[in-house]
Chains A and B, each alone.
Chain A
């Protein structure tokens, strides 16, 4: 195996291949990033819906609950396939990247809704009460009092989810998205050693994930310190 790898190395790392890998790596990164950013927006919205108390809104709350519980308990591959076939059924011609992106978005929304809910719950009820008796409405309370305090509890797990999802994007290769895993298969199919192709891709995932994970840990530490700023 090693002989073959050594022999193929120079042919493997051509300019074209390297660019190909970098593009694939970028696709992987973008999939997770954009999906999670969109997921944060909608996840935040779902979390807010879940804390409303008016009787009129209960169908929305029920929907939010079902959505969050459901999509957190289904494998990414299944969600991906479901969304793929949904687009197909509706006759919508979209790129596989779009399908994968929507899938990441849908799942991120569910997970981040839970993270945001947790963050909102971390803010003491007394803050809510103080705002309520001064006649703050829900949006005002959230915007001026709760979120400025909750974001420190929300950001680390949300970022950590984003880094985690980079690995899950590997499954997008199954519907043909040209991300990092797919690129390994392409090169393997072209005749290169699988050890080389998949080995390099494993390394590239590592290079993508490790620094981001370290950054996330650093950020979490800084936020933890700032919470106890003047104590």
Chain B
């Protein structure tokens, strides 16, 4: 039994089909990277997993159990097990960095406040923002906000961490600090799905790479294999374009 199994999923954005018969299996501890051109459905796949887009067809199974995205309780349980970091960080603007990280564990997971706070401080220190606990998002740079977002996701103690193009909205000089943070995370045993355009980074940290185009998964396999010697034409086209940047 696979840990996370996506089975022939379709998804639409209005009339546009953004996921076309997508199937993917993920083992516990996998660091799976999704690469491909813009609009290929990578982010959509992550959004579908957390229920922000409803799948029109197909099934998604977590530890063999199907997630029913139409059912409130099933969706809630699924969301308990995932955590997502968005491209635009989406920090709560009216809360400090610390509050952003502690609010969900305290209010939703109902964990004891002191324990959550101590952990939050540790997490923010880990991502290098120990000095910025009381700062508001609009006082932080993009890179800093993204690291808070990562800390916020980690505080939820998720089983699967989803990173949706987390460096794409950042100024170039801020990208590395975030990548460093993510690198740390990949070194711990954690199941992660990363959507990224940072090819060398993807190659370095992933245990598996999937290439998507036009809503379909065209190739899945070892990073080196997919990225150096792609099987399909589309993938080859993409890799040449990317590498000859």
- Chain A: residues with CB nearer than 8 A to chain B? 126-127, 129-136, 140, 144-145, 148-149, 229-231
Contact = CB atoms under 8 A, between A and B. Distances in A.
A133 B52 contact: yes
A229 B138 CA distance: 8
Interface residues of B, number: 24
11 contacts: A126-B86, A129-B52, A129-B86, A133-B52, A134-B79, A134-B104, A134-B108, A134-B156, A136-B108, A144-B103, A229-B136
Contact of A133 (B82, B92, B136): B82
B76 A135 contact: yes
Contacts, number: 53
Majority SS at the chain B contact face? loop
A133 B76 contact: no
A208 to B, nearest CB: 34
Given A130-B86, A133-B82, A134-B156, A145 B94 contact: yes
Nearest to A227: B138
Contacts of A148: 94
B130 interface: no
B138 A230 contact: yes
Interface in B105-128: 107-108
A1 B86 CA distance: 73
A82 B84 CA distance: 53
B71 interface: no
A129 B51 CA distance: 10
A229 B137 CA distance: 11
A140 B94 contact: no
A127 B107 contact: no
Given A126-B88, A230-B138, 9 more contacts: A126-B86, A129-B90, A131-B92, A132-B52, A133-B52, A133-B84, A136-B107, A145-B92, A230-B139
Interface of B: 50-52, 76, 79-80, 82-84, 86, 88, 90-94, 103-104, 107-108, 136, 138-139, 156
Contacts of A131: 92
Contact of A126 (B50, B90, B94, B103): B90
B52 A140 contact: no
B140 to A, nearest CB: 9
Contacts of B50: 133
B138 A133 contact: no
Contact of A140 (B83, B91, B108): B108
A127 to B, nearest CB: 7
A127 B90 contact: yes
A148 B82 CA distance: 27
Contacts of B79: 132-135
Contact of B136 (A127, A145, A230): A230
